[in-house]
Amino acid sequence: MTQPQGIRLNKYLASAGVGSRRACDTMVQQGEVVINGQTCLNPGYRVQPEDFIKVNGRRIEPLEIQSIVLHKPAGLVCTRSDENNRATIYELLPPRLHHLAHVGRLDLDSEGLLILSNDGELTQALTHPSHKIEKLYQVTTENAFENSILTQLEKGVFTEVGKARAVSVKRISSRRLEMVLNTGLKRQIRYMIQAVGHRVKRLVRVKIGELTLETLKPGKWRFLEKSERDALMSLSEKKRGSKNSSRG
């Protein structure tokens, strides 16, 4: 009964108020969940928009598909709860949006554009490695750098997470540059800057595809417009189509 896209059943049930994910797992495994007239025993089943779901005979209404754009400030982690009791991005959101998952992430000290969504198709489009969606970052280093590092970053450098390269790098000032990436290795930019002999003082993601923060202030959020979603989906399809044509 598994599907390649959609929201995991345990997450879907939890966000609909049925119970915690662990409790929902138990309900599924005990045969209390029926999907389209058939008992489902797989907590990892991917819920589709047309699915008719019941738990112990009670209809679970389909979730409204929602996506938001958040301007993440530094000092917050991308998780619902943190074992070290650090502040999280969900403290910026009303409870009615706490079921949304972050699409990709920004580390504790990074700032900028972050999408949160329960839209499985959009999440897949933005995060699948083969789609190579470009993201623009503004980077401030602790010390002034030479122009030679721009070429190094574009050609690729060896880091703790493997070889990494930027699609493009542009110098803004003696300590500021813009980097475009189409990969998402953990702490990639920080490791890349470290590999060329510098340290990141500030890191801000300002663009995903053609989506920007515009006038959104740090700590604020807004709903993603349909036209913006369509543009992101279209970009993903173009990337996928380009890859397929190159294989041919």
Q: Which residues are catalytic?
A: 107
C-beta contacts of 46-51 below 8 A and 24+ residues apart? 46/2, 46/3, 46/4, 46/5, 46/6, 46/7, 46/8, 46/9, 46/120, 47/6, 47/7, 47/8, 47/9, 47/12, 48/3, 48/5, 48/6, 49/6
Q: What is the spatial distance between Cα 242 and Cα 15, in angstroms, rounded to a whole number?
A: 36
> Residue for token digits 């190094």?
152
Q: Is 109 helix (H, G, I), strand (E, B) or coil?
A: coil
100, 137 Cβ separation under 8 angstroms = no
The residue type at 75: G
* Angle, helices 226-247/120-127, rounded to nearest 10 degrees: 50
Q: How far apart are CA 184 and CA 192, in angstroms?
A: 12
Which amino acid appears at position 35 of this protein? I
Q: What are phi and psi of 5, to 5 degrees?
A: -130, 175
Distance CA 216, CA 229 (A): 17
Query: Residues 6 or more apart from 63 whose CB is under 8 A from it?
Result: 7, 12, 15, 16, 99, 118
